[in-house]
Amino acid sequence: MTKSDNIFLGFFSLLLVIVLALMGCGGGSAGTGTGPVVIVQGAVLDESGSPVENVDVRVVETGSEDTTSASGEFEILTTPESESVTLEISSETGNALITLNIPEEGGTVSVTLTVNPGFSEVNADTVEMGAAVVGRCDLYFENKLTIRQANRVPGDLKCVARVTVSSGDKKLAQIPIAIQYRDCEGLSPWTTIAVGSTMSKPNLGVGQVQFPFIDDEAHCIYRIVSPFGLPNLPALERTIITSTYQRRQ
């Protein structure tokens, strides 16, 4: 082997070590996991209802985490592989664990965590919303955390959004649902084009809303909102992005 060969092999080995090191330095708030993408958002409060800052909130199963802001708020993007997640709430004074249910199809969980002074106990008030485009329109969309248009939708076809709303183990009936759209620039207000609600039977907590889908500059991005217009429950959203929106990015 020549001297130049040795130099080349040495350089290649060094390059390989650097690449492997960079691969190991990845990460981010999503952590690990291969399940549906879920956003866990909410706030940590003390027993008087005041926000608690600098609290670490972590999804045990995936390692996804965030630290509460001055308003006590946090948001975690995670990919759990089961129908529930365990949250670890930690501060300098202690830590506590609590289990939350998550939407089967992925979606958003809104939770208010109330902790005692020693952080040994935590109570959770949650609302979960899952949504997907179903029926004949299922062929034209990818139902991920952000629902994406994958193919051109025939102009005469109306789409159906299936929405589930629950609080812990309890499915919630008669919860309003709205489908809204706005333009690509985001300058116009959200326009409501269809409304509905979750059912009490035969499928408790599940609602289906039919809506016209248009893919153009004026109808650039849609969202599914539920609970919609209820002051005592936080409004959760699932975004639908059109092909027009994707081309502009």
DSSP track, 132-171:
EEEGGGGGGEE-SSSEEE-SPPPTTPEEEEEEEEEETTEE
Domain boundary among 120, 144, 168: 120
* Domains held by the chain: number: 2
Please check whether residue 222 lies inside any domain of the structure.
Answer: yes
| Res 89: pLDDT | 94
**Domain stops at, among 120, 153, 185:** 120
113 and 156 together in one domain: no
| Pair (152, 238) in one structural domain | yes
What is the dihedral sign for C-alpha 133, 134, 136, 138?
Answer: positive
- Same domain for 211 and 158? yes
- Tell me what pLDDT residue 83 has: 80
- Do 149 and 85 belong together in one domain? no
The helix (H) or strand (E) run that includes residue 248 is helix 243-248
What's at 145, amino acid-wise? L
Range of the domain at 189: 129-248
Task: Assess whether 62 and 83 both reside in one domain.
Answer: yes
Single out the residue in 120, 141, 161 at which a domain terminates.
120
List the pLDDT tens digit at each of the 249 positions of the chain. 554 444 434 433 433 333 333 333 333 345 555 566 788 998 999 999 999 999 999 999 889 999 999 999 999 988 877 788 899 999 988 889 998 887 766 678 889 999 998 888 898 888 889 899 998 899 999 988 789 999 999 988 899 999 999 987 889 999 999 999 999 988 889 999 999 999 998 889 999 999 999 999 999 999 999 988 887 777 888 999 999 999 987
pLDDT of residue 142: 92
Residue 146's pLDDT is 87
Q: Are the CB atoms for 179 and 159 separated by under 8 Å? A: no
CATH code, domain carrying 181: 2.60.40.1930
Pairing of strands 141-142, 221-226: unpaired
237 and 167 in one domain?
yes
Report residue 205 as tokens. 């907590």
What's the pLDDT score for residue 28? 36
CA nearest 197: which of 233, 245, 152, 248? Answer: 233
Residue 105's pLDDT is 65
Residue the block writes with tokens 């909130």:
57
The model's pTM is 0.73
Structural domain contains residue 81:
yes
Q: For residue 97, what is the domain's CATH number?
A: 2.60.40.1120
77 shares its domain with 138: no
**Domain assignment present for 155:** yes
